[in-house]
Chain A
Amino acid sequence: MALPSATLLAQAILAGLFTGALYGLLGLGLSLSWGMLRQINLAHFALAFLGAYLTYELSSRRGVDPLLSLVFIVPLFFALGAALHWVLTRFRVSPFNSLLVTFGVTVIIEALLQWIWTADYRKLESSYAEHKLRLGPLFLPLPELITLGLGVGISLAVWVALRRTDLGKAMRAAAEDAPIAAAFGVNQNALALMLSGLNAALAGVAGVCIALAYTLSPSQIYAWIGVVFAAVMLGGLGRPLGPLIAGCVIGVTEAVTMAVTAPSWAPLVSFSLLMLVLLARPGRVA
């Protein structure tokens, strides 16, 4: 177990940040849903992959630039998210049962993906992958940079929106005490629909990023669930910057572990962290 060179370590940290940003992007919608709407949306991951596959499709068949496909994906996913929320509230699904229902949705989406695109591995070939920026001895691939940019940018934007805008404050108030917020004119139902739509749209954006940097396969949906949940819980539910920061912490520790020991030790880090947080500070999370 030789200690790697400084360059390798720095590159590993960078890689960890890139992965962490994606964890953060994926986790943002999940965290907001769980923290503010009390819905555990397992389907978030499947939606992200749906977005990824759509991006792949638009790019390889129609030649649409992946970033441009956001224009199409964001509104579509907004509608999907609002629809899902409507179903969950219409049937008054408890937070725990929302986990099970969205698992059902996940399985359906997975089957859909497999039906349309088969289980073969698919890789998006885009011009972005060929660009690599250099920072001294370090390489910064463009797709990963885009992900980092989007992850940080969107998290900050959501953070500012929740903090500064009236709508954001109304959402926070309704999340804490909906009846009293209603007493001051806040229409919780409308806001919740909007928030759900936003969360699903975020999943779509994450999907575009996944398509840019990763090879796609329907079964890959499940590979992300564990570590993103860890990021969400470590970051604190409902905090916009939480998943990003926790995701980067997890990403960097994983990457450094991989560089110093063997790649297969990486999951131990995030999940042990998660277990420790769950046992030591459960109140902070739920």
Chain B
Amino acid sequence: MLEVQAIRVAYGQATALWDVSLAIGKGELLCVVGPNSAGKSTLINAIAGLHRVSAGRLVLDGQDISRLAPHRFCGQGIALVPEGRRLFTEMTVRENLEIGSYLGPARRERAASLERVCALFPALVEKLAQPAGALSGGQQQMVAIGRAMMARPRLLLLDEPSLGLAPGIVLDMFEAIRRIHADGIAVLLVEQNVSMALAVAQRAAVLEEGRIVAIGRPDELMARPELRRAYLGLEPGVEPAIA
């Protein structure tokens, strides 16, 4: 469904992504893991249209969307749950959700979408009238996911949803992600928390210093050394000295 073809993304002079390619099939759940500053957020932001690719292409259902203006990506069926939530803190929870369904087609189904989001996250029902900035971290994450779901996307992008959340809430959230995926929506999940990500993924990729160094099924990746090296700096075969 979505093909990322050898994209290169730069911030000013710093190149954050080098020739990154991957593909997400219809209804697939793909995870991208990797340490900080590996470029995970850059990748998601590029796919969401927030950031221009300087080389390579983004192809959605055969159509090249790389040159579209940022506000046109949502209309293509791509919705973003940004890193750090980035809710509109001055607006209420309901208003945040409504912005999710700002565009025409989604707007028409706003009421139905709202019901679905409330069914997904029952805890939000009583918070609808509160300013988004007053909610706890976990609740804000729910609103952020809900906001994206209101756009009725075909592809949901999640950027480090577990960031700053307590482990119990993280479990609930990944459960919600699993349910969203079960409804047939393709999901691209970028995560620092490797074990949770690999537990839900159908396929996963490891990003290190702006390049994809491994890609495959979760159980394959767990056995390979790239993960440990990327996160912990431990080279395979080196005997660690024990204090």
Are A185 and B88 neighbours in the complex by a CB distance under 8 Å? no
Residue from A166, A169, A180 in contact with B82 in the complex, judged by beta carbons closer than 8 Å: A180
Q: Would you call A183 and B91 a contact (CB within 8 A)?
A: no
Closest to A166 in B: B102
Q: Is the CB of A183 within 8 A of B80?
A: yes
Instruction: Among A169, A170, A183, point to the contact of B73 (Cβ < 8 A).
Output: A183
| A180-B83 Cα distance, complex, nearest whole Å | 11
Contact between chains at B88 and A177 (CB < 8 Å): yes
Say yes or no for A186: interface residue by CB 8 A criterion. Answer: yes
Which of B72, B89, B90, B102 has the most chain A CB atoms closer than 10 A to its own CB?
A: B102
- B151: interface (CB < 8 Å): yes
A25 to chain B, nearest CB (A): 24
Is A59 engaged at the interface, CB distance under 8 Å to the other chain? Answer: no
- The interface bits of chain B over 90-110 (1 if a CB of A lies within 8 angstroms of the residue's CB, else 0) are 110001001110110001000
Partner of B90, one of A166, A170, A172, A185: A172
Which of chain B's residues 87-141 have a Cβ closer than 8 Å to chain A? 88-91, 95, 98-100, 102-103, 107
Known: A180-B82, A184-B74, A184-B100. A173 touches B48 (CB 8 A): no
A108 in contact (CB, < 8 A)? no
Contacts of A169 in B (CB 8 A): 91, 95, 98-99
Q: Any chain B CB within 8 A of the CB of A176?
A: yes
Distance between B38 CB and nearest chain A CB, rounded to angstroms? 21
Least CB distance from B100 to A in Å reads 6
Decide if B182 is an interface residue (CB 8 Å cutoff). Answer: no
**Do B88 and A179 touch (CB < 8 A)?**
no
In the bound complex, residues from chain A placing their C-beta under 8 Å from that of B228 are none
- The verdict on A182 contacting chain B, using a C-beta distance below 8 Å, is yes
Cross-chain contact B50 with A185 (CB below 8 angstroms) = no
CB distance B48 to A183 under 8 Å?
A: yes
Cβ of B102 and Cβ of A185 under 8 Å apart? yes
Among A173, A177, A185, A188, contact of B103 (Cβ-Cβ < 8 Å)? A185
- Taking a contact as CB atoms under 8 Å apart, the answer to whether B86 and A173 are in contact is no
Collect the chain B residues with CB atoms within 8 Å of residue A177's CB: 86, 88
Q: With an 8 A cutoff between CB atoms, is A181 at the interface?
A: yes
Q: Do A166 and B74 touch (CB < 8 A)?
A: no
Given A169-B99, A170-B99, A188-B71; A183-B89 close (CB under 8 Å) = no
Residue of chain A at shortest CB distance from B150? A184
Given that A179-B50, A182-B71, A184-B147 are known contacts, is A172 also in contact with B91, CB under 8 Å in the complex?
A: yes
Among A170, A183, A188, contact of B50 (Cβ-Cβ < 8 Å): A183
The smallest beta-carbon distance between B165 and chain A, in angstroms, is: 19
- Are the C-beta atoms of B75 and A185 separated by less than 8 Å? yes
| A187 CB within 8 Å of chain B | yes
Could you tell me which residues of chain B, from 173 to 229, have a CB within 8 Å of some CB in chain A?
none
A176 & B71 in contact (Cβ 8 Å cutoff): no
A186: contacting residue among B79, B91, B99, CB under 8 A = B99
* Distance from B22 Cβ to chain A, minimum over Cβ atoms (Å): 20
- Chain A 175-222 residues near chain B, CB threshold 8 A: 176-177, 179-188
Residue in chain A with minimal CB distance to B82: A180
CB contact under 8 A between A183 and B98, given known A169-B91, A173-B91: no
* Min distance, Cβ A188 to any Cβ of chain B, angstroms: 7
The answer to the question of B70 belonging to the interface, with a C-beta cut-off of 8 Å to chain A, is: yes
Question: Are A182 and B99 in touch, CB under 8 angstroms?
Answer: no
B35 at interface (Cβ–Cβ under 8 A)?
A: no
Of the residues A170, A180, A186, A188, contact of B86 by C-beta under 8 Å: A180
| Interface 0/1 of A229-268, CB less than 8 Å to B | 0000000000000000000000000000000000000000
B91 touching A185 by the CB < 8 A rule? no
Among B74, B82, B89, B98, which residue has its beta carbon within 8 angstroms of that of A185? B74
CB of B49 closer than 8 Å to a CB of A: yes
12 further contact pairs, Cβ within 8 A, besides A180-B88, A182-B49: A166-B98, A169-B99, A172-B90, A176-B89, A176-B90, A177-B86, A182-B70, A183-B74, A183-B80, A184-B74, A184-B100, A184-B102
Q: What are 6 A-B contacts with C-beta separation under 8 Å?
A: A176-B90, A177-B86, A182-B49, A183-B73, A185-B72, A185-B74
Query: Chain B residues in contact with chain A, CB under 8 A?
Result: 48-50, 69-75, 79-80, 82, 86, 88-91, 95, 98-100, 102-103, 107, 147, 151
Instruction: State the 7 A-B residue pairs at the shortest beta-carbon distance, nearest first.
Output: A185-B103, A185-B74, A182-B70, A182-B71, A187-B71, A183-B80, A173-B88
